[in-house]
Amino acid sequence: MKTRVISAIVALLICIPIIIYGKVPFYVGASIIGLIGFMELLKLKSSKKDIPYLMKVFGVISFILLMTSNWNILGSLYLFDYEVMSSIIFLMLIPLVFYNKSKKYGINDAFFMIGSILFLGISFNQLVSVRMLDLYYLVFLLLITVFTDTFAYFVGMLIGKNKMCPTVSPKKTWEGFVGGLAFGTFISAVFYITVFDYTGNIIILVLLVALLSVIGQLGDLVFSAIKRNFGIKDFGNIMPGHGGVLDRLDSILFVVLAFSYFIRFL
């Protein structure tokens, strides 16, 4: 427990100033964290079947290109370089022709690489875009995930009886899910109304925040399912007591993707 608390404090002391300042330090920090997350997925895949070194290199290059795509016009959440995305698909699929005989790189491997690159690349691209659009938008999304996770844990621990997805995450309960949803939605909605001087439809705002809270919890379960499939507890150990990058950012990555769409309704 002591190690977990210390590593969390250290992480906050490093990340908070970078998030507040933004600009180049945030670009660099997000790039490093995103790349570490992508490498965690590659390592996970290699635990069952190793990906050819050349394809790993292609994957890292593709991920970086997608993650940094359109950073010259940051502030928009809807602009993607589809040429880059198309190139990634070709780059991951065409080598199947040359690896077919050796069976070192099959269609399942190609789709794993494509899915990993597109999901993480777009997620981290949007994470940076949200911060550059407005610091308080990023704070808003962090509040949703942090308070949802926190209250889901405590409510589940206190009164949780009905298991939500026992085969994926045995400790999560429906009571915790509802508790996290209620408190995460209320606190985050109040923050949004106060900070952005919101004068729109309160019901729509609350519904959208609630939906983001649900998506965050489902995102957490998706990554838990991936870990169960590969038989691991954590994606990495970059944060002692907390696991890897993907263990800490599972919810926010899904929330950021959803927010990129929902922001048009706020």
Angle at alpha carbon of residue 136, lines to 220 and 214, rounded to 5°: 25
For the chain, counts of helices (H) and of strands (E) = 10, 2
Q: What is the DSSP letter of 51?
A: P
- Among 255, 250, 187, 239, which Cα is nearest to 13's? 239
SS3 180: helix
SS3 171: strand
Q: What is the DSSP letter of 49?
A: S
Cα gap 25→14, rounded to integer Å: 11
Pick left, alpha or beta for residue 241 (phi over 0 → left; psi -120 to 50 → alpha; otherwise beta).
left
Residues contacting 26, CB < 8 A, separation 6+: 18, 19, 128, 131, 132
| Token pair in block for residue 10 | 């250290």
Cα gap 163→211, rounded to integer Å: 21
Q: What is the pLDDT of residue 251?
A: 94
Q: How far apart are the first and last CA of the chain?
A: 40
- Name the percent of the chain lying above pLDDT 70: 92
Q: What is the pLDDT of residue 37?
A: 94
Tell me whether residue 249 is exposed, middle or buried, using C-beta atoms within 10 angstroms of its C-beta: 0 to 12, 13 to 18, 19 or more. buried
Residue pLDDT, tens place only, 33-82? 999 999 999 999 888 888 999 999 999 999 998 988 876 555 555 556 67
Residues contacting 151, CB < 8 A, separation 6+: 176, 179, 180, 182, 183, 184
Average pLDDT, the chain: 89
Residue pLDDT, tens place only, 179-199? 999 999 999 999 999 999 998
